[in-house]
């Protein structure tokens, strides 16, 4: 598998998958601790109709139309949730559940009814992405990594996700203390003058940015899995947030790489001649890592378990 075809065929998806996984896992750490992990799930559902509409309007799958479409969809979602919550007099969780599933279904319908055959945009792509198709034909060998001409033809998802991850990592590092204080003790944070509402909005926006960037390359399944699984597994490995972040990055990269390799080569090793979906396998590996951490992680805590369990 490390033969001549590795650099053009396997390296780009491995790197893109890892970048997407880490970009989602970083904000995921704070979302999990704030018990808002499902917001990641929600975002990846809500953005679908926005992206489809943006494509229908502009006819392109460029970064900006997608980002604007996703952001508009998110705004509509927030307005709908607020409206349903007030008019229906129900709790926000229920309103969210209704809005997100409906918007996602609307996105799927829109996709099926519109002609998107010219681009990589269909229901399967929305769920699974197209990691396997992100190949780099100009990368003829390891030497191509130092060849500017070949590098210019890298799949555009790669630099896009690299930039996204850089922004997410920088934001996490710069706002580390406010994020940590306001996640642990919002009341105290407010009294010392931290803008807690703004911090919360910033966190969700950063997560949304990561979700939209990753969505295009790897689909919504990975996005949902990466917001939750690596941070949750990392929490079970340590009792320090600083170290939890490092574990979550490790688990994200491990899921992306192992999942991709298992999807591409696993069936061959088992004697079959097909491959399975990389996105599905990556999410599965992330879930397995979380399962192992839940069974054997050193910092498990039964505080929340029901009595007698």
Partner 1 sequence: MNAVSLAATSGTHVTEDLSKYAMAVRGLTVSYGGKPVVFSVDMSIPTGSMTAIIGPNGAGKSTTLKAALGILKPLSGHVTIFGQPLDQARQRVSYVPQRASVDWDFPTRVIDVVLMGLYRQVGLLKRFSPALRAKALDCLTRVGMEEFATRQIGQLSGGQQQRVFLARALAQDADLYLLDEPFAGVDAATERAIIAVLKDLQARGKTVVAVHHDLATVPAYFDRVFIINTRAIAEGPLDTAFTDRALQEAYGGRLSTNHIEGLAQVS
Catalog residues that contact partner 1 under the rule CB under 8 A.
Answer: 33, 174-178, 180-181, 183-185, 187-188, 190-194, 235, 238-241, 244, 299, 301, 303-304
In this complex, which beta carbon is closest to partner 1, that of residue 64 or of residue 184? Answer: 184
Q: How far is the CB of 236 from partner 1 (least distance, A)?
A: 10
Size of the chain, expressed as the number of residues it contains:
309
**Residue 89 or residue 271: which is nearer to partner 1 going by CB?**
89
Q: How far is CA 235 from CA 18, 109, 238, 249, 259, in A?
A: 20, 38, 6, 12, 21
Do residues 164 and 23 touch, judged by C-beta distance below 8 A?
yes
- Minimum Å gap between C-beta 309 and partner 1 is 16
In the complex, minimum distance from the CB of residue 72 to partner 1, in angstroms, rounded to a whole number: 29
Nearer to partner 1, 31 or 158 (CB): 31
Q: Shortest Cβ distance from residue 214 to partner 1 (Å)?
A: 25
Nearer to partner 1, 126 or 236 (CB): 236
CA distance 237 to 248: 10
Select 31 or 281, whichever has its Cβ closest to partner 1.
Answer: 31
| Angstrom distance (rounded) from CA 29 to CA 229 | 10
* Dihedral sign computed on CA atoms, order 195, 198, 199, 200: positive
Contact 189, 178 (CB under 8 A): yes
Two tokens, residue 263: 């999807």
Residue 167 C-beta: closest distance to partner 1, Å: 16
């Amino acid at each position: 598998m490390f033969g001549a075809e590795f650099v053009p065929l396997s390296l780009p998806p491995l790197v893109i998958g890892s970048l997407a996984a880490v970009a989602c896992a970083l904000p995921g750490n704070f979302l999990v601790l704030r018990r808002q992990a499902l917001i990641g799930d929600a975002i990846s559902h809500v953005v679908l109709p926005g992206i489809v509409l943006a494509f229908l309007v502009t006819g392109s799958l460029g970064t900006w139309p997608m980002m604007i479409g996703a952001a508009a969809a998110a705004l509509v979602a927030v307005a709908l949730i607020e409206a349903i919550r007030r008019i229906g007099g129900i709790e926000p969780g229920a309103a969210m559940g209704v809005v997100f599933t409906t918007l996602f279904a609307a996105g799927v319908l829109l996709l099926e009814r519109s002609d998107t055959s010219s681009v990589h945009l269909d229901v399967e792509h929305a769920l699974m992405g197209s990691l396997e198709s992100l190949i780099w034909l100009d990368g003829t060998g390891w030497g191509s990594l130092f060849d500017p001409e070949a590098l210019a033809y890298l799949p555009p998802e790669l630099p896009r996700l690299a930039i996204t991850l850089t922004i997410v990592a920088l934001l996490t590092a710069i706002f580390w203390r406010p994020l940590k204080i306001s996640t642990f003790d919002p009341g105290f944070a407010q009294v010392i003058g931290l803008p807690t509402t703004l911090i919360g909005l910033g966190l969700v926006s950063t997560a949304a940015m990561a979700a939209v960037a990753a969505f295009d390359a790897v689909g919504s399944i990975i996005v949902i899995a990466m917001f939750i699984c690596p941070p949750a597994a990392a929490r079970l490995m340590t009792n320090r947030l600083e170290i939890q972040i490092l574990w979550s990055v490790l688990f994200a990269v491990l899921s992306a790489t192992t999942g991709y390799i298992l999807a591409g080569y696993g069936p061959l090793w088992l004697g079959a001649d097909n491959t399975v979906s990389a996105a599905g396998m990556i999410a599965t590996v992330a879930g397995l890592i979380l399962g192992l951490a839940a069974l054997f992680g050193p910092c498990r805590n039964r505080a929340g378990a029901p009595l007698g369990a």
